[in-house]
Amino acid sequence: MLRLVTSSAAPDSTIRLERISLRRGGRDVLDGLDLSIPRHGITAIMGPNGAGKSLALRVMANLVRPDTGAVIHGLTDPQDIALVFQKPVLLRRTVRANLRHALAIYGVPRRERRERLGELLDFGRLAAIADSPARALSGGEQQRVAMVRALAARPRLLLLDEPTASLDPQATAAIEALIRGAAHSGATVVLVTHDRGQATRLADHIRFLHKGMLAEAAPADQFFLAPKSPEAQAYFDGKLLL
Amino acid sequence: MNGFGDAFAAAFALIVGFDADLVEIVGLSLRVTLSATLFACLLGFPLGAVLAVGRFRGRGALTVFVNALMGLPPVVVGLIVYMMLSRTGPFGTLGLLYTPTAMIIAQTILVTPIVAALARQTVADLDAEYYETLHSMGARAGARMRTLLWDGRFALMTAALAGMGRALAEVGAVMIVGGNIDHVTRVMTTAIALETSRGELALALGLGIVLMALSLALNALVMGARLSGARLAHA
């Protein structure tokens, strides 16, 4: 059975972004953002373009350093956090070599790599394309490789930046299955998505951002039944949020 | 040997007849050039990667310095290596002066900055694409450099080719440290210079033709390998 996350699984406490501000191009792209992510389940971050969703994700992943504020997740090992991008960047190698490279980067002992590699290929249903050049694959297959590569780290916090944008329903279903698998294994999953349907299918919690600030935080079922914030209401009513 | 046509005919006869002197000179030229290119790649690729990915004080100045060294005058390199290897120099006891090894050392010094500067650009371009992915994976600087060098392997062949072209065509440095000794350190470029000064245009021209043909063939070979490799790996 493939183990996707470390034994201690999710982070020990709620992940918190406290008063995060970031100014880019003369604009406050994150404006005193306060955000808490429950340690269990899948949290979807939603909001219009430019709300700061992807940037918040990058701040959580320590890829972007905010001007002010703090990120508190208690994860000290960089490999506890994995990030999957909207457009996967795979290495100029085969699928197998991409995963082998990831296992090496994650410090998996050489003697264990073969077994782990086989598990990952099976889990991602990638065995049939294992020896194909990764960059020659379809968008859906490439994203599946990127997901499995992220899971190879056995992350405690899995960050997903619109992983199914521009994928067809079949490819989307395959990615969503992997996301559910990671969450069931105990990882904290944070998913940035524009897709209300996807958030409904996957998310346990919703965080709605607008103009770099938190507009609403609620359990998913409650949020989709009746969003409380005017921004979320307007967004789902199809109104333009300016 | 007065006419251009006569010289051409004589040169052609030397090539077709696998003239022993010609073969020996071509063989030594290839040995020196390929060895120098190999050593330059072994030094230049990691140096280029460090300049592209490393974050340290003086990186900008070092990059400018390496770029400037691309225009290093061969005779100056020859002179410095000569002084190092001469009997009174710090490495005089090694007895390397006027040997193919001295020529390889001089050419390695000439070619390494070219390979390093081109490798730096290749790796920097690739790093811009891979930066977030490798950082999000927690890859350390060493692992990032190895990843970028391997994934840039086909583009790096161009850097190696540029270095090889410089080594193959170089005459000043190898003349000084090799001495152009017959059957010992005579390579194509030094032989062409000598035979031309002696009026032996046939051998000079024959060597010139072989030099150009070799340069063309090596370039075609490496470019072919690069293109087919890149196509297979979708790089």
pLDDT value of residue A1 = 45
Q: Are A80 and A157 in contact (CB under 8 A)?
A: yes
What residues contact A190, with CB distance under 8 A and at least 6 apart?
A15, A37, A42, A43, A45, A57, A60, A157, A158, A159, A160
Q: Between B130, B139, B234, which is nearest A133 by CB?
A: B234
Q: Write a three-state SS string for B64-97.
A: HHHHHHCCCCHHHHHHHHHHHHCCCCCCHHHCCC
A11 pLDDT higher than 70 = no
Residue at A161 is within a domain: yes
**Testing the interface with B: which of A92, A94, A106, A108 to mutate, by most B Cβ within 10 A?**
A92
pLDDT value of residue A136 = 92
What's the gap in Å between the CA of A89 and the closest CA on chain B? 7
Residues of B in contact with A104 (CB under 8 A): 143
Cβ of A105 and B138 within 8 Å? yes
Q: Taking residues A20-35, what's their average pLDDT? A: 93
pLDDT value of residue B1 = 47
Where does the pLDDT of residue A79 fall: very low under 50, low under 70, confident under 90, or very high at 90 and above?
confident
Interface residue B234 vs chain A (CB under 8 A): yes
Residue at A131 is within a domain: no
pLDDT value of residue A242 = 60
- Give pLDDT tens digits for A161-192: 999 998 999 999 999 999 999 999 999 999 99
In percent, the amount of chain A with pLDDT more than 90 equals: 82
CB pairs under 8 A between A and B: 52
What's the gap in Å between the CA of A131 and the closest CA on chain B? 10
Q: For residue A163, what are its two tokens? A: 């992983």
Provide residues of A within 8 Å CB-CB of chain B.
58, 61, 63, 77-79, 81-83, 85, 89, 91-93, 101-102, 104-106, 133-136, 149, 153
- Identify the three-state secondary structure at position A237: coil
Q: Taking residues B49-78, what's their average pLDDT? A: 94
Cβ of A89 and B129 within 8 Å? yes
* Nearest residue in chain B measured CA to CA from A98: B147
Domain-by-domain residue ranges, chain B? 18-186
pLDDT value of residue A149 = 97
* Nearest residue in chain B measured CA to CA from A87: B133
Residue with tokens 């060493």: B142
What's the gap in Å between the CA of B159 and the closest CA on chain A? 19
Strand partners, A214: A209
| Length of chain B measured in residues | 235
The whole-chain average pLDDT of chain B stands at: 91
Q: Are B215 and B165 in contact (CB under 8 A)?
A: yes
Residues of A in contact with B143 (CB under 8 A): 104-105
Residues of A in contact with B134 (CB under 8 A): 105
Tell me the C-alpha distance between A198 and A220, whole Å: 11
> How high is the ipTM of this complex?
0.85
Tell me which CATH code domain B18-186 carries: 1.10.3720.10
Cβ of A92 and B234 within 8 Å? yes
Cβ of B136 and A83 within 8 Å? yes
pLDDT value of residue B235 = 53
Tell me the C-alpha distance between B22 and B16, whole Å: 11
Residue at A201 is within a domain: yes
Where does the pLDDT of residue B230 fall: very low under 50, low under 70, confident under 90, or very high at 90 and above?
confident
- Its sign, for the CA torsion B10, B15, B21, B26, is positive
Alpha-carbon separation of residue B93 from B45, B77, B87, B96, B108 (angstroms): 31, 20, 7, 8, 21
Q: Are B10 and B206 in contact (CB under 8 A)?
A: yes
Based on the structure, what is the number of domains in chain A?
1
A6 pLDDT higher than 50 = no
Where does the pLDDT of residue B4 fall: very low under 50, low under 70, confident under 90, or very high at 90 and above?
confident
Cβ of A92 and B151 within 8 Å? yes
- Give pLDDT tens digits for A195-205: 999 999 999 99
A64-78, B120-134, B135-149: range with lowest mean pLDDT: A64-78
B157 pLDDT higher than 70 = yes
Q: Between B132, B143, B151, which is nearest A105 by CB?
A: B143
pLDDT value of residue B201 = 86
Q: What is the DSSP letter of A11?
A: -
* Nearest residue in chain A measured CA to CA from B138: A78
Where does the pLDDT of residue B176 fall: very low under 50, low under 70, confident under 90, or very high at 90 and above?
very high
Residue at A130 is within a domain: no
pLDDT value of residue A156 = 93
Domain that holds residue A87: 15-91+155-236
A199-203, A206-210, B167-171, B203-207: range with lowest mean pLDDT: B203-207
Residues of B in contact with A85 (CB under 8 A): 132-133, 136
In percent, the amount of chain A with pLDDT more than 70 equals: 93
Cβ of B235 and A153 within 8 Å? no
* CATH assignment at residue A188: 3.40.50.300
A218-222, B62-66, B157-161, B218-222: range with lowest mean pLDDT: B218-222
Residue at A85 is within a domain: yes
A2 pLDDT higher than 70 = no
Q: Are B75 and B176 in contact (CB under 8 A)?
A: yes
